[in-house]
Structure 1
Amino acid sequence: MGCVARVWLLGLLLFLANGAWAERLRLVADLWPPFSDQALLNGGLATDLVRTALARAGYTTEYAQVPWARALHGVEIGSYDVLINAWFSEERTRIGQFSSPYLTNRIRLLKRKNTLIDFNSLADLRPFEIAVVRNYAYDPGFDNDTQLRKVPVASFGSAARMLHAGRVSLTLEDEYVARYYLSRETPQVREDLEFLPKALSENGLHILVSHVHPGHRKIVEGFNRALQEMKADGSYAAMLKTHGF
């Protein structure tokens, strides 16, 4: 073998060893801090976890942030390969294959620390005014209960400040989202509020891999395996800590 050929072969081997020929997956998500937000560290907690697990499974990735409806439709038609933050539903199994859950979204109620409110069922909440974000889906039972005294607001930040001011008795939000936004409130607001112990609902957060991609089963299997390895070696917990959780 000539010198030029040996150099070319060595370059090719290094190219492969460095994963340059690894399959590239097109990831997509909507703006949902702290899970997915290009302004946050590594694109947010969910983006970072998913990209790291897929990298360990042997894939390279590119990421797009678009409105939710566009993201879901893009996965359905194959414009994107992986939706990184999806709750399970039977309807969505027509679009793609779900991974194992990699995070748990817990919708929790918040109150002022100096108030006594017990929550065991929706009936316990009916005496109280509850700030809710307009057009936000929390839980089917809660959303459809017409006896609850819901006060529509523009955002969780507005709800938290109303709660602190005593204009409502409760509000609610995903625990990760609430902690993210409370960390950006004034100490007076942040330190005045606390979560009720019982969660209103819990949903696993999954990736959804497009059925259009011929390797969707392999992608999900690799992601699930890498996720378990990350939990076993401590890198999963370290990543949560890096993102402030």
Structure 2
Amino acid sequence: MLMLRPWLLLLLLSPALAAGDSLRLVANPWPPFNDQTLPGNGLSSELVEQALHRAGYDSQYLEVPWQRTLLGLKRGHYDVLINAWYSAERAEFGYFSQPYLINRIRFLQRKGAGIQFEKLADLYPHRIALVRGYAYAREFDSDPHLLKVGVSSFATAARMLHARRVQLTLEDELVARYHLDRELRGIRDELEFLPLPLSENGLHILVRRSHPQHREIVSRFDRAIQAMHEDGSYAAIFARHGF
């Protein structure tokens, strides 16, 4: 008896887009998750494109600044935002998948600095470098007692930390590791993560609600991601990107 893989059975039993149609995927440059200079356009991009391909969808990848991703999705210029944290505001114009990846936001200190973090008040004595305009966690972002120093990039924040101009910085763990293994390699061994993350946020795809198949796209995507976990291809993509 011929046995079909679950993802192939899903493809055969599910309606496809009309001939010639292709989902327009959009993301902002955010290595290692999304970047046209990386293999597969980055970790998130490759995971999403492979899952959608398994689910029976062709796709094309576009990369634009963050604000343009949201505006373009609202206006119907794009179909799927690859990398979205959940918010009620975004849910009004987009339909969220289940999280396919977890972003862990972690603090870094100079190695051996001995800073303890269990609650935000533990951080009040310390200057913290963070990227202007980024959202890290609601309580952290709104706490007026934290000594925040705005900078243009994580690389700048890490160099300020190394130079003792601040006592802490923070970033998604995989983003931080990506930069520490590249342009920050020279100071990598002098910095370390604090054990407790500030937050853990699920990373979703967001499909515009104006797309007539938005629910079906998300349902098939979620099942394809589950199949990729089961057959090892999800882990293989992580390994291919060095994680």
TM-score (norm 2): 0.89
- Equivalent position amino acid for 1:58 in 2: G
Give the match for residue 26 of structure 2: 28
Superposed, which structure 2 residues align to 1:187-202 within 5 Å? 187-202=185-200
Per-residue deviation at 1:186? 4.5
Q: Say which SS state the counterpart of residue 195 (structure 2) adopts.
A: strand
**Identical pairs, percent:** 60
Give the match for residue 43 of structure 2: 45
Stretches of structure 1 that go unaligned for 5 or more consecutive residues are: 1-18
Corresponding position: 1:65 with 2:63: yes
State the distance in 2 between where 1:129 and 1:138 align: 16
- Equivalent position amino acid for 2:68 in 1: R
Corresponding position: 1:163 with 2:161: yes
State the distance in 1 between where 2:77 and 2:183 align: 38
| Partners of 2:108 and 2:169 within 8 A in 1 | yes
State the distance in 1 between where 2:91 and 2:141 align: 24
Per-residue deviation at 1:96? 1.6
State the distance in 1 between where 2:32 and 2:87 align: 22
Q: 1:99-124: CA deviations, max 9, x gaps?
A: 01011111110011121111000000
Per-residue deviation at 1:135? 2.3
Per-residue deviation at 1:185? 3.2
| Partners of 1:88 and 1:204 within 8 A in 2 | yes
Q: Say which SS state the counterpart of residue 197 (structure 2) adopts.
A: strand
State the distance in 1 between where 2:48 and 2:162 align: 35
- Equivalent position amino acid for 2:48 in 1: V
- Equivalent position amino acid for 1:112 in 2: R
| Partners of 1:28 and 1:83 within 8 A in 2 | yes
Size of the aligned set, in residue pairs, is 227
| Partners of 1:22 and 1:59 within 8 A in 2 | no
Q: 1:14-60: CA deviations, max 9, x gaps?
A: xxxxx994741111111111111111111111110000000000111
- Equivalent position amino acid for 1:88 in 2: Y
| Partners of 1:22 and 1:58 within 8 A in 2 | no
Q: Say which SS state the counterpart of residue 194 (structure 2) adopts.
A: strand
State the distance in 2 between where 1:77 and 1:156 align: 31
| Partners of 1:82 and 1:209 within 8 A in 2 | yes
| Partners of 2:155 and 2:184 within 8 A in 1 | no
Superposed, which structure 2 residues align to 1:95-244 within 5 Å? 95-244=93-242
State the distance in 2 between where 1:73 and 1:215 align: 20
